[in-house]
Structure formats: structure tokens, C-alpha cells
Amino acid sequence: MKNLSIALNAILLVLVIILFVMVNNLKKSIGQDGGGMSAGKNKLLRVAYINADSINNTYMMMKDFKDEIQAKQAQMQEVYNVKAKRLQDEYEGYMKKKQAGNISELDAQKAEQDMQGKKNELDGLQQQQQELLKDVQEKNIEIEKTVQKYITAYNKTAHLDYVLTYESVGGTILFANDSLDITKPIVNGLNQQYKILKDSAQKAASGTKQ
């Protein structure tokens, strides 16, 4: 389960929201004198940033997904622990009988086959863990695309040249002026969008059950 936790934390704590970088006129965006960035001789670039930590903590799609994955992980871990304990107890009992000579060859073969079957079940649970890890990775890509798509739509009215990502720990931006922070409207818009999709999905599910 360790790899799954690492992958989930990577999504929740280090979600990289990289988009809307308009590079068509990149060469023109750098002033001739090297003294700063400008979109031509007279126009300054419009730059804003998004706080990745806030996105991780307040975007409902991410929070719901985190809860879902943690519930599945906990359930899988509990089942795995119970089965592993039973197999361990069975193996120890088998070894005691074998060492004491209190088990026939036929019974020993049956016990070994039974333990191998239980071992295969544990291997199957580990495979499910790998499949869950794959789901996490795919959801990560889906969330990033959703955020990027929303920023692109948002920028149709904001007319920004760059939207950067700020992280309190581990980011490449060491300081960000609060006046450039557009996290709140982005998160609000994403949550409204997600609520509509979630409500529609729940209504569809209810209609299917009826």
C-alpha cells in the first residue's frame, strides 16, 4: 500500500497546474534591453498565479477522490491483513505438526495446497492495489486536464499572458504578490462546474435504479 499512498500524496500535495502559457509571441515578450518582460514596446505582460496548495485542499473533485481512494485503500488493507494473519497462523500450525511428525504425507500435501491457494489470494489483493494505483494516476491526469481547460475558458475574459503555479513548499516561485492570486475565482468556478456534473450523475443514477 506504500506506493499507493505516495502516489495519492503526490496528487494532493504536488498537483502541477501548468497552463495557459501563451508562447506564440514569446520572443516579443522579452524586452530588447533585458530589463523585464513586456508584450512589445509599450504593453506589460498580464501575469497571475494559482496557489496549488489551495487547489489541493478546496477543489471538491480532489477531496471526493481522496476520500474514495482512502476508503478503498483502508478496506483493501483490512482484508489483506486478515487473510495474511490467517495464512501465517495456518503456516505456523502446519510447521509445528510437521516438525513433531504429527501429520501424514497426504495431509501435508493438502495443507500445502490450501496455503498456496491463500497465498494466491494475497497476490490477487496486491494486484488490486496496483490497479488502484493506476486509477489514481489516471485520475491525476483527468484532474489536471479539467483545471487546465477551466483556466483556458477563464482567460477568455481575463486576458492573461501567463498563469503560474505557486506552492508553499517545493515550488520554483519563492514569492508571490497576493494581488496576482486568482486561486479563489478559479476554485469557485471549478467547484460550481463539478457540482453540476456530480448532481447530474446522481440524478442519472437515481433514474437508473428506478
pTM for the whole structure: 0.68
Long-range contacts of 129-135 (CB under 8 A, 24+ apart): 129/1, 129/3, 129/4, 129/76, 132/4, 132/69, 132/72, 132/73, 132/76, 133/3, 133/4, 133/7, 135/69
- Tally of domains within the chain: 1
- The pLDDT mean for the chain works out to 82
Q: 46: how many CB neighbours lie within 10 A of its CB?
A: 15
Domain that holds residue 34: 2-209
Q: 69: how many CB neighbours lie within 10 A of its CB?
A: 21
pLDDT digits (tens, 9 = 90+) for 13-26: 434 333 333 333 33
How far is 41 from 107, CA to CA, in rounded Å?
89
How far is 78 from 50, CA to CA, in rounded Å?
38
Q: What pLDDT tens digit does each residue of the chain (210 aa) get?
A: 555 555 555 554 434 333 333 333 333 443 433 334 555 556 788 999 999 889 989 999 999 999 999 999 999 999 999 999 999 999 999 999 999 999 999 999 999 999 999 999 999 999 998 999 999 999 999 999 999 999 999 999 999 999 998 887 777 888 888 999 999 999 999 999 999 999 998 888 777 665
Q: Indicate the pairing of strand 47-51 with strand 162-166.
A: parallel
